[in-house]
Structure 1
Amino acid sequence: LRHRLRARAEDRIRAARATGLRNLPLHHTTQNKVWLEIVQIALDLLAWMPMLALTGTARLWEPRRPRFRLFSAAAQLVTTGRRRILRLSRHWPWTGHITAALDRLALLPNPG
């Protein structure tokens, strides 16, 4: 059990490096602090999304796969009649994963 906890910590560190923690791209300390906050938000998104929204083998994806398969999908955000509609490309092979994830997130109770 203890070695698995260590492996999970190592996986999180590897995910952090893949998300933008490998180097600090800005020149000033305050700018790099903002960069670290952005990286932490991205890591939280990558940690919670598989638990709450994804199913099957998509829950086991490394950080690079959701970035290329889910977050870079071709889509249009259309506002009509006070509603926002996300129109995904029909030809994108991961559209089913995206719509299933959005449906699962819609079923979650409102925290507030």
Structure 2
Amino acid sequence: MRDGAWVAELTRLLDLTGWPEGMRVIVREGRPYPGAQLRITDADGLRVTARAANSTRGQLPALELRHRRRPRAENRIRAANDTGLTNLHDPAQSQIWCATVALACDLVAWMQMLALTEHPARRWEPERLRTRLFTVPATLARTGRRRLLHLTEHHPWATTVTDASRGCAT
């Protein structure tokens, strides 16, 4: 839990008749992350968020942290869907395709982390990467024992691809 954040359970203070048995209401108050835009409901620069959970075990900070991490998992699922994750007719085909998509997601994540360290493309979604970086026209040439990739110089994102490939080489 970050400094300056507080978590409390309000289950016993609320009338939860009509709610499923075992529901808990957990409230968190804390400063938004740096760069986050404040909402109209934020008071004194603090954001109050509440959630209902049916988790009967666990400490409040751990439950609240699990809840805050969920959007990251949903973003990764959305990115996997953009990369081509779909259900196929045969379970074996779906299993192979899911492994292929997971490999593609890993390659994109490593590329962004290692090759695009100082560029805004490090945080781009797969669709934007596909339309900007992965569509740069290029030719592959063989000379001696080397393979050279020649990028089209007039493409607006060619320098980014060149910088990324140099970042991978070092």
Specify the TM-score bucket, using the shorter chain as the normaliser.
0.7 to 0.9
Deviation string for 1:17-70 (max 9, x for gaps)?
11112x22x432222221111111111112211111112211111111111211
* Aligned pair partner of 1:18 in 76, 82, 86: 82
Give the gaps of 5 or more residues in structure 2.
2-64
Structure with the bigger percentage of helix: 1
Alpha-carbon distance in structure 2 between the residues aligned to 1:57 and 1:44: 19
Q: CA RMSD in A?
A: 1.5
**1:5 Cα deviation (Å)?**
2.5
**1:4 Cα deviation (Å)?**
4.6
Aligned residue type for 1:15 = A
Give the gaps of 5 or more residues in structure 1.
108-112
Structure with the bigger percentage of strand: 2
TM-score, structure 1 normalization: 0.84
Pairing 1:33–2:33 present: no
Considering Cα pairs closer than 8 Å and 6+ residues apart, tell me whether 1 or 2 has the greater RCO: 1
Aligned residue type for 1:10 = E
Aligned to 1:70: 133
- The 3-state SS of whatever aligns with 1:76 is strand
Alpha-carbon distance in structure 2 between the residues aligned to 1:49 and 1:42: 10
Give the direction of change, closer, same or farther, for the CA distance of 1:4–1:106 in structure 2 (3 Å limit).
farther
Structure number, greater radius of gyration: 2
TM-score, structure 2 normalization: 0.57
Aligned residue type for 2:70 = R
Seq. identity, %: 51
